[in-house]
Amino acid sequence: MMLVESKTISFDDFITWLPERSLDRYELRDGEILEMPKPRGKHSEIAGFIISELNFIIRQSPLPYLIPRESMVKSIDGKSG
């Protein structure tokens, strides 16, 4: 994990900064941008299993839900990470 930006930034600034077509992955933690390694191994297996199970439930629902491949999550209290 590598620190990309050393100044503290907001979630909205992070979204604006985030490269649209980057092969790298980034997270905002405590106001700092961190470059993250691509998930692999057990982490990827568990994520794949969870997505598979959720997709099964979603297909049974009459609502138009989906699980995007990439997403951003902002906590309710305004903190990220």
Q: Where in the chain are the domains?
A: 2-60
Bridge partners (DSSP) listed for residue 28: 33
Nearest to 55 by CA among 73, 68, 44: 68
**Which helix (H) or strand (E) element contains residue 34?**
strand 32-36
CA angle centred on 24, ends 9 and 21, rounded to 5°: 90
Say whether pTM exceeds 0.85: no
81 residues of the chain, pLDDT tens digit each: 566 656 789 989 998 998 888 888 888 888 889 988 887 899 889 988 998 999 899 999 998 888 877 777 777 765 544
Token output for 1: 């994990």
- Give the pLDDT score at 6: 64
Task: Please give the pLDDT value at position 80.
Answer: 47
* Structure confidence at residue 30 (pLDDT): 87
